């Protein structure tokens, strides 16, 4: 176990940051995705270009913004553009990573953020797509951060807001989406998941400390593939925690 104490949110921020490579571009939303991108930029990916839906490109943020439209999200940005401009960057293939959340996900990485229950008389109406469909359709690699349960990891979505691998290998391309794009990682309170290249199905990559494979499989309505003895998700280092807590001193995101 780690010699330093950390919250579940801090572990998720570090796991998400680890998915990002230096010299790449990432489409970022509010909350943990923002923390992950800022942490990556401060550590292993100093030349990571952050892009916000509000139109900001290339900021170097020193304090967690309240939202992507907060003026702090534009600190030292290379451009203050528009939503049209940043969505056009995705459409033209210039955004490597896109972060998304979801209320539901299925085994092919398709996402629902629209309704729970029947569309005409839902149990709950959710925020909808926003830019989620654009991000999931056009960014090269999509990273999903969400809570995991049998009600969220479902065999069939109540509504498909954002395409993953649809119904299997090749389905995205047959629908006209760019070849080579799609879900890359899913990060939950239990572990980090990836997608098999042959089946396009979600599978377990690493378990968070203290979590068992049985807990992961019990919290999913569809079968999760992966090793019976997976690797452990690296715990946050003291340096990572120092940076995260400097970026979010009020712990709005990290508690």
Give residue-wise pLDDT tens across range 143-196.
999 999 999 999 999 999 999 999 999 999 999 999 999 999 999 999 999 999
Nearest to 90 by CA among 61, 133, 60: 133
Range list for CATH 3.40.1080.10 in the chain? 1-95+235-249, 99-233
* pLDDT at residue 193 in the model: 98
Q: How far apart are alpha carbons 60 and 185 in whole angstroms? A: 24
Catalytic residues: 53
* pLDDT at residue 22 in the model: 98
The pTM score is 0.95
Rounded to whole angstroms, what are the CA distances from 117 to 84, 112, 187?
Answer: 32, 11, 24
Q: Which CATH architecture has domain 1-95+235-249?
A: 3-Layer(aba) Sandwich (3.40)
pLDDT over 70 at 2, yes or no: no
**Confidence class for position 46, pLDDT limits 50, 70, 90:** very high
Asked: is 99-233 a CATH 3.30.70.1520 domain? The reply is no
Dihedral Cα 215, 186, 252, 132, nearest 10 deg: -140
**Confidence class for position 255, pLDDT limits 50, 70, 90:** confident
pLDDT over 80 at 3, yes or no: no
Task: Name, in order, each residue with C-beta under 8 angstroms of 71's C-beta and a sequence gap of 6 or more.
Answer: 65
pLDDT over 90 at 222, yes or no: yes
Rounded to whole angstroms, what are the CA distances from 201 to 61, 184, 185, 198?
Answer: 35, 11, 11, 8
| H/E run at residue 213 | helix 213-218
pLDDT tens-place string over residues 229-240: 999 999 999 999
* pLDDT at residue 100 in the model: 96
For the chain, what is the mean pLDDT? 96
* pLDDT at residue 224 in the model: 95
């Amino acid at each position: 176990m780690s010699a330093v104490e950390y919250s579940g949110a801090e572990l998720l921020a570090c796991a998400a940051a680890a998915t990002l490579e230096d010299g790449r571009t990432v489409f970022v939303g509010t909350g943990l995705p923002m923390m992950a991108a800022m942490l990556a930029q401060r550590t292993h990916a100093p030349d990571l270009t952050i892009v916000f839906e509000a139109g900001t490109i290339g900021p170097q943020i020193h304090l967690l913004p309240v939202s992507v439209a907060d003026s702090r999200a534009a600190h030292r940005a290379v451009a203050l553009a528009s939503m049209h401009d940043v969505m056009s960057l995705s459409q033209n293939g210039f955004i490597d990573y896109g972060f998304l959340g979801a209320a539901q996900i299925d085994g092919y990485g398709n996402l629902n953020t629209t309704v729970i229950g029947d569309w005409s008389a839902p149990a709950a109406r959710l925020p909808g797509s926003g830019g989620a469909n654009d991000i999931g359709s056009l960014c090269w690699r999509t990273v999903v951060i969400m809570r995991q349960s049998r009600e969220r990891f479902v065999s069939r979505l109540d509504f498909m807001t954002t395409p993953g691998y649809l119904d299997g290998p090749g389905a995205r391309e047959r629908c006209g989406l760019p070849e080579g794009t799609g879900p890359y990682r899913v990060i939950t309170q239990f572990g980090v998941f990836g997608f098999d290249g042959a089946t396009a199905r979600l599978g377990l990559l690493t378990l968070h400390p203290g979590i068992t494979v049985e807990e992961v499989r019990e919290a999913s309505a569809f079968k999760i593939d992966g090793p019976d003895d997976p690797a452990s998700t690296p715990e946050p280092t003291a340096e990572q925690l120092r940076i995260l807590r400097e970026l979010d001193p009020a712990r709005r995101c990290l508690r």
